[in-house]
Amino acid sequence: MSTILSRRGVVAGAAILGALAGCAIGPDAPPPRASEPAPVAAPPSAPAASAAADAGPRGRARWVGADWTELPGWADERALDLFPALRRSCERPAPGWSTVCAAALLQPPADDASARLWLQLRLRPFRVESADGAAEGLATGYFEPLVVAQRQPRTGFRVPLYAPPADLATRKPWYTRAQIDTLPAVQAALRGRELAHVGDPLDALILQIQGSGRLLLTEPDGATRLVRVAFAGHNDQPYRSVGRWLIEQGELRPEQASWPAIKAWGRANPKRLNEMLWSNPRYVFFREEPLPDPQLGPKGAQGVPLTPGRSIAVDPQSIPYGTPVWLDTTEPLASTPLRRLVMAQDTGSAIVGAVRADYFWGWGDEAEAQAGRMKQPLRLWALWPREARPPG
């Protein structure tokens, strides 16, 4: 992953934690896969697709017609949990999805078994491969940070989060991260654009890396409220991974370069912190949004709220937004199987390729820990309406 922030909503959140902890700094090939359980047979009413007839290019990918029996763990899937995310995608349906979306809104299934059957009767699975036929790829993770902030600067809260400067659209590229932090004239141009102040430059960095986040914000009158800051623009400078910089400096080994390790290095080396931060000239600006429902994630590139554990970011040239996807990967650290239905609802500038996904973990400490370490082997199956022609 080498560039940052090229979309609405979560924008580059889907990709950029991976730029720290995922594919840009990891090995070229994913580790060996975990063992798989025996597949479950499809019902007679859902005949198998012809793989030979349906193999073909779909942008950067090949979609190969598959059987439901290929999906490892399908019989154990809690498929009903997909439907809130599916219905959100149906607010902006892809071509060919009108009939399925109408049924999802009007005739939702009642339990997991009926939800699996509901999907099998209406959709067909396609194994997603690269153009050269490779069926394995990479899964990384992302999350929505939660950061304590103050509206006004005070002791311990001196790191500003800025709204876009007035001349951002006319001056390209805008100033670098180092210039923003050090040049009085640039700081003067940003005066009055401060949305809030956080206590740690690494907190500001992770908000910029993820493209959005939640602030537990204290106002001048002492009132505290929860708000979201969302991506509003960047300085058009090139993105450079701080994880890659630490590897090149000999400070971390590639397998160590997770977000927790990067944070730990920064806090252990305060005299070199700016050197690390300024190695990435890209700088992100935000807008503040209300957070009326804390259970809803930020909007992804499809324009609908993301659902923790049920939304992924994909390369839209390989998998269209709004496509249900069967994900076959493992959780970080424990390497326990992570096999479930998810919705393709987001993208990021570093999420490129056919078998590539960024898994949205949600928010909070556990989500941060899981997302920051996720760099797992991956296989994907796209599910497409039986009556519609697959994209390509």
Name all domains of the chain by residue range, CATH numbers in brackets: 13-25+142-290 (2.40.240.50), 51-138+298-385 (2.40.40.10)
pLDDT, averaged per 10 consecutive residues of the chain (392 residues), comes to 34 40 31 32 38 55 95 97 97 93 92 97 97 94 95 96 96 97 97 97 93 95 96 94 96 89 95 97 96 90 96 96 97 89 91 95 91 93 93 74
Collapse the DSSP code of 321 into the 3-class scheme (helix H, G, I; strand E, B; otherwise coil) and give the result.
coil
Residues paired with residue 139 on neighbouring β-strands, in sequence order: 357, 376
Q: What confidence score (pLDDT) does residue 33 get?
A: 29
Whole-number pLDDT of residue 295: 87
Give the C-alpha separation, 131 to 146, whole Å. Answer: 39
Number of other CB atoms surrounding residue 123 within 10 Å = 19
Alpha helices by DSSP H, listed for 196-325, are 201-210, 242-248, 259-268, 273-278
CA angle centred on 335, ends 329 and 341, rounded to 5°? 30
Cβ atoms of 11 and 231 closer than 8 Å: yes
DSSP string, 143-191: EE-EEEEESS-BTTB-EEEEPPPTTTTTSSS---HHHHHH-HHHHHHTT
Residue linked to tokens 């399925």: 100
pLDDT of residue 213: 95
SS3 75: helix
Tokens at residue 273, please? 């912190």
**What pLDDT is stored for residue 54 in this prediction?**
55
**Do the beta carbons of residue 355 and residue 136 sit within 8 Å?**
yes
pLDDT value of position 22 = 37
